[in-house]
Structure 1
């Protein structure tokens, strides 16, 4: 028993190192903070002053499966991924392509959709040169063809003006949900929620509703 006081004294030094898991924060708040741009139909857009689209409804289903309220927050490209990185948003559901470059910055859910794509280079707001070099030619997202959009495109970040390039016929990209690294319990909960939505046909029904075809598998 002589060492017990010493152990007690160590507890204040150890406890600050423990970091709450994202799933605990989400449950404590009772809401999932979801960032999207709401500027590309049929993914997410405003219709008669209200949010609509495939990813809006997917966000609502995921929050329902997690038993929390969906707090859907409209933002722009400047803030979308940096907001997830900083913890301002829990996730981004914004037709984001699952790429090695982004996997260096975020953990991801399992894919919720797949899309053929042609390459589009677009300019991202300026960042420090070291950061810009790291994300050169980084895939960010997908804007698919559908009832409300004109072109298929795989979005690539580069320090260039937008230039359309020829599509690769067999190119398929996976769309997934990024969140802060180091949250395995949240990842497991999110993946299980997605799996339930896939298993009972709700994800396929959403895809059929907004795209006219199933896009939940390659």
Structure 2
């Protein structure tokens, strides 16, 4: 078979630019590297010396569906998302809210959990000393039941603060530009949703079905 000279020149130039998909790397390694913090019950924590919780079991189910070994890697908040961004971890399963800011940095799986969080609204009203004004400048933890959502800087707090419900959608971030991995991850999530395993996991750890909006 004869090759055109121009084609022979192009072939070697193309190979350095070929980039393996994340799903190929996962399959070649035979493991899914899952980052989480490991100290936030009921999502991830140690019980009788063993790491367990909603996020841990979800990661194990997804790895099982992808037919690879789940490699659970405990880290801290400073390393979690940068580690996914750099390729140190394949995914982070750490009750991460799907936000526009994070969508600029990562691609995400389809949602796997929804919750209604209550936020205390800020109100710019003066307060006398030795009242809730002493909380000024502190961090306010926002939670629904045992589900941690985020920290918000607190400027001032009304003595009878109004509250608003806000739906928080949880999904799994991974490096941008991996559509085949995204499709595989979404299909794995869809299978554990369809057969009831995700709902059972939610009932077990979150005391209710948080899989639906």
Q: What is the TM-score normalised by the length of structure 1?
A: 0.80
Which residue number in structure 1 is paired with residue 73 of structure 2?
Answer: 73
Which residue number in structure 2 is paired with residue 30 of structure 1?
Answer: 30
Distance 1:184 1:163, change over 3 A: farther
Which residue number in structure 2 is paired with residue 177 of structure 1?
Answer: 172
Q: Distance in 2 between matches of 1:205 and 1:186?
A: 25
* Runs of 4+ residues deviating >3 angstroms: 160-169
Q: What is the TM-score normalised by the length of structure 2?
A: 0.82
| 1:129-168 equivalence runs, <5 A | 144-146=144-146, 153-156=148-151, 168=163
| More deviation, 94-103/41-50 | 41-50
Secondary structure of the 2:41 match is coil
1:193 CA drift (Å): 0.2
CA contact (8 A) 1:118 1:154 kept: no
Q: Distance in 2 between matches of 1:12 and 1:208?
A: 55
Q: Distance in 2 between matches of 1:4 and 1:96?
A: 52
Which residue number in structure 2 is paired with residue 126 of structure 1?
Answer: none
Which residue number in structure 2 is paired with residue 55 of structure 1?
Answer: 55
Structure 2: gaps (5+ residues): 121-141
Q: Distance in 2 between matches of 1:32 and 1:201?
A: 23
Q: Distance in 2 between matches of 1:69 and 1:198?
A: 20
Structure 1: gaps (5+ residues): 121-141, 147-151
| 1:2-151 equivalence runs, <5 A | 4-119=4-119, 144-146=144-146
Which structure would you say has the larger Rg? Answer: 2
Secondary structure of the 2:149 match is strand
Q: Deviations over 1:54-91 (max 9, x none)?
A: 11000000000000000000000010000000000000
Matched positions, count: 190
